[in-house]
Chain A
Amino acid sequence: MSEKYNMPDERGHFGPYGGIFVAETLMPPIQELNAAYQHYLTDPEFIAELDTDLKYYVGRPSPLYHAERWSRELGGAQIYLKREDLNHTGSHKINNTIGQALLAKRMGKTRIIAETGAGQHGVATATIAARLGLECVVYMGAVDVARQSLNVYRMKLLGATVVAVESGSKTLKDALNEALRDWVTNVDNTFYIIGTVAGPHPYPAMVRDFQAIIGREAKEQCLEATGRLPDALVACVGGGSNAIGLFYPFIEDASVKMYGVEAAGDGVETGRHSAPLCAGRPGVLHGNRTYLMADDDGEIIETHSISAGLDYPGVGPEHAWLKDTGRATYVNITDTEALEGFYALTRMEGIIPALESSHAMAYTMKLAPTMRKDEIIIINLSGRGDKDMQTMAKREGIEL
């Protein structure tokens, strides 16, 4: 018997997690956003426009691909890839940016801001802003600007202003701080498109709802292809939007195991990682209570990961709740293991995954052999590896 799952509560709480922890100036725009979101969530016209965009602009549904050769090689479960890498702009991020941008348009906002780590969310935001004719400013840590220069160029081509953030650790968390500072200064005309299932309520629920199309399609496609539900889901977790998008429609299906894969960087035991669920503690950052990487004094500590998109000290509050309740299991994969996953998928299936998604591939390489051949794993292949070519070439000592 599956239990009915109905999270969050009306103030955005997932048990002790989530909520609204912001400075007072942000309360009115957050209340305005929440009211608009609750209204359009069930508005047939809004949903029809979103569905049309997802079909003709993004290219949905994305395929569920049976990686037969890789499954055979690993000698265990049958592995299926949910091909979010085939979406327009190359990752799952666009599912959410289209939803939020359509909301922004209906709310009469003329200016869009976003934070980005790997640049995937920034590109997806700049893309939809270009299409809707909205001004777009993307905040990106200076360290990430350097290691994801291809995506910086893409955003600029699309007409966005990219602001390199020089404060703090100069990565994703600092980009988020700076975007919040922009929002508080320009609340009247500005819509903040958060790229992950974090931030103050309603963002964690709203981003989840826009990303849940991943899991809804995957469930239908799996039933169609195999006649049954999968046995396990695997997805990488930074903030956790691609993972919650896949997991959410399966939460009440108790037989389906869920594995969220955090970035262990140099290894969790070294302290140089980005795995708050595996090795952090609850606290409050960026508008919500969740697991964080912080020291004994509550100061946020710097994170490390080969993948800019997972380099974040927090995680969506719903993942914190799924961890505590035991509904989902959170594991971690080091940089070195992620690279093995990257090469394995590239050479076994001719698909080059993003370094973020490579963490999910690497965990699957451990999980699949422990399962029977008639069991099924669905991995969220959340993004493609094009953006990581420079990073990979540099590691291999090749000048592009």
Chain B
Amino acid sequence: MSRLAAKFEALAKAGRKALIPFVTAGDPRPDFTVPLMHEMVKAGVDVIELGVPFSDPMADGPVIQRASERALAHKMSLRRTLDIALEFRKTDQDTPVVIMGYLNPIEAMGYEDFANAAQRADIDGVLTVDLPPEEGVECSALLKARGIDPIFLLAPNSTDERVKKMDAAGSGYIYYVSLKGVTGAGHLNIADVESKVHQIKQNTQLPIAVGFGVKDAETAKSIAKIGDGVVIGSALINKIEANLDDPDLAKKEIIDLLTSIRQALDS
């Protein structure tokens, strides 16, 4: 069983929901990320999504775009993101790590080289925003053969047919994009998320993690009731951006926010 499947199974047994932070690798500096990952685990997160910086992040809002730009200014790359994951793994064998990004860095590396490199870094899942299952057959097969889960997105306007397609193509979990928009947008409607996630669950047994637009403990709690996990990204990166001159304070504010969300989820 993959690390992701085992994690979601254990959470389900315990009646708990997954808390999944997203941070961009190397933002604001390359040496910031590994210690942050360990501290987030201590704060009670279950899975870590590590963003691969890309020059043209088409599905992301301004907060994550700027995180990418800061990381790229330090020559961060897919290869160095995998180095960060490997470094983290040396002292944490339990927490699943998913890398999330865009296809072109993977194309540049080559699918097979990428799959091998991801395996060496002991990555658990790969979510490629602009790679739908139709175009992703080759890449997904290479990942699955190495025990890495290909993770796909579903959206508010996804049809049942698309849900079935993701169920067949993906593993680990499904990332439900809770609103029509980019990451960090501000118009999340809990009732809409609830009815859609209910509809999705008719066609898949995979855990559903809900993300995009989750900003605080209260929203996270309402969302977590509906799905199997909640993803929080832009709200964390806001803390980095607000404290560029004081990375320790940024880290502290991130951990405080995650701790409050963890408590809300478990209460």
Contacts and interface: CB of A to CB of B under 8 A. Distances in A.
A185 B57 CA distance: 15
Contacts, number: 118
A285 interface: yes
A173 interface: yes
Contact of B182 (A173, A181, A187): A181
Given A28-B159, A292-B104, A185 B177 contact: no
B135 A21 contact: yes
B204 to A, nearest CB: 14
Nearest to B80: A297
A24 B153 contact: yes
B129 A282 contact: no
A12 B72 CA distance: 32
A48 interface: no
A322 B216 CA distance: 51
A27 B104 contact: no
B206 to A, nearest CB: 15
A158 interface: no
A19 interface: yes
A283 interface: yes
B132 interface: yes
Contacts of B238: none
A29 B158 CA distance: 10
A21 B103 contact: yes
**Interface residues of A: mostly helix, strand, loop or mixed?**
mixed
Contact of B108 (A23, A168, A174, A283): A283
Interface in A294-329: 294-301
A325 to B, nearest CB: 21
A25 interface: yes
Contacts of B155: 23-25, 27-28
A174 to B, nearest CB: 8
B256 interface: no
B154 to A, nearest CB: 6
A23 B104 contact: no
Given A24-B162, A284-B103, A298 B109 contact: yes
A176 to B, nearest CB: 8
Q: How large is the interface on A (under 10, 10 to 19, 20 to 34, 35 or more residues)?
A: 35 or more
Interface in B171-211: 177, 180-182, 185
B88 interface: no
Contact of B58 (A177, A281, A282, A294): A177
A177 B130 CA distance: 13
A233 to B, nearest CB: 31
Contact of A297 (B105, B132, B156, B157): B105
B106 to A, nearest CB: 7
Contacts of B69: 168
Interface string A260-296: 0000000000000000000001111111010010111
B239 interface: no
Nearest to B153: A24
A25 B180 contact: yes
B78 A185 contact: no
Interface string B65-93: 10001001000011100000000000000
A27 B162 contact: yes
A253 B61 CA distance: 47
B109 A184 contact: no
Contacts of A300: 55-56, 104
Interface in A9-30: 11, 19-25, 27-29
Interface in B96-144: 102-109, 129-132, 134-135
Contacts of A168: 55-56, 69
B59 interface: yes
Query: What 4 A-B pairs have minimum CB-CB distances, sorted nearest first?
Result: A298-B108, A298-B105, A297-B77, A25-B155
16 contacts: A21-B135, A23-B130, A25-B153, A27-B155, A168-B69, A181-B61, A181-B182, A184-B180, A184-B182, A185-B185, A187-B157, A283-B104, A294-B104, A297-B79, A297-B108, A298-B105
Interface of A: 11, 19-25, 27-29, 167-168, 173-174, 177, 180-181, 184-188, 281-287, 289, 292, 294-301
